[in-house]
Amino acid sequence: MKLKGKTILITGGASGIGLEAAKQFLAIGAKVIVTGRNQVKLDAVRKSFPSITAIQSDAGKEADAQSLFNRVKELGGIDILYNNAGVLVSPSNLGIPNDKHLEGAAYEMEVNYLGVIRLNNLFLDMLKSRNESAIINTTSILSMAPSLIEATYSSSKTALAFYTTSLREHLKIIGSKVKIFELIPPLVATEMTAERKDKKITSEKMVEGLINGLLKDHYTIRVGDSKIFNFINRFFPGIAFNIINPKQSHQLLKN
């Protein structure tokens, strides 16, 4: 897929992976629009990168999604929709009854899964009208094997992975040329994972892997450890589960 000259919308693009993606897409000649909830961070993006269009929008709110679509349409539309926004609720012990479990799960599902479908539905006709266009859905290594301390987050990403495969095949059946990519990152060093002591990949390396996959039309893009983990999970699922859930994580569940 050609990226130079394309217009890309990156949700959750005011910091972390999204901001790094914006920088790298700009560097190869793409036009970039980013969204985020935090206006202060968006203002900082505008100041540092005047060529980036920054729009305040919450990926979990229907009204924001519609307003975002209207604004993007006014700007001339996009060629690529990169669903990068995601949330992770603080780990909790599912074995103990707690109203926070349902509240957290609903929030994660609203942003990580339903919010993606909402934006895809809004932008699909626009993308179909382009000569070459794409949707990028960000799942996770946890869509292959669940984390015991991030069970509902893992579930939201698994749902998104299944949806992404189904959407890709559905569009093929109806003859649409919109390309559907699934990005499967390992643990990435961001604000959201700052407290994690596990091995992490930098956001720079993660985005480099994404862009390389897009250029080669690899519709499932595994970056870093998610490549070898896919092999391990396929042939040794028990080992894969234990890699995601080492014994020290069991203590967190007891506390």
Q: What's the CATH number where 234 sits?
A: 3.40.50.720
Where does 64-130 show beta strands of DSSP type E? 80-83
- Find the largest Cα–Cα distance for the chain: 54
At position 36, the amino acid (one-letter code) is G
| In a domain? residue 174 | yes
Q: Are 69 and 115 in contact (CB under 8 A)?
A: no
pLDDT at residue 90 in the model: 73
Buried b (16+ CB within 10 A) or exposed e, 104-124: bbebbbbbbbbbbebbbebbb
Where does the chain show beta strands of DSSP type E? 7-10, 31-36, 53-56, 80-83, 134-138, 179-184, 220-222
Tokens of residue 110, six digits: 């609203």
Q: Are 86 and 113 in contact (CB under 8 A)?
A: no
The DSSP result for 131-161, as a single string, is SS-EEEEE--GGGTS--TTSHHHHHHHHHHH
pTM of the model: 0.93
| In a domain? residue 23 | yes
pLDDT at residue 9 in the model: 98
Q: Is 99 exposed, middle or buried (0-12, 13-18, 19+ CB in 10 A)?
A: exposed
Count: domains in the chain:
1
Q: Which of 181, 176, 147 is CA-nearest to residue 161?
A: 181
Helices (H) and strands (E) in the chain, counts: 10, 7
| In a domain? residue 2 | no
| In a domain? residue 148 | yes
Angstrom distances, CA of residue 18 to CA of 39, 63, 143, 173, 234: 15, 22, 20, 31, 30
Q: Are 161 and 222 in contact (CB under 8 A)?
A: no
| In a domain? residue 1 | no
Q: What is the mean pLDDT of each run of 10 residues along the chain (255 residues)?
A: 98 95 97 97 96 96 97 98 92 67 91 98 98 97 93 95 98 97 88 65 94 98 96 97 83 57
Q: What is the three-class DSSP state of 83?
A: strand
How many angstroms separate the CA atoms of 253 and 4, rounded? Answer: 47
| In a domain? residue 179 | yes
Domain that holds residue 127: 7-254
pLDDT at residue 25 in the model: 98
| In a domain? residue 77 | yes
| In a domain? residue 154 | yes
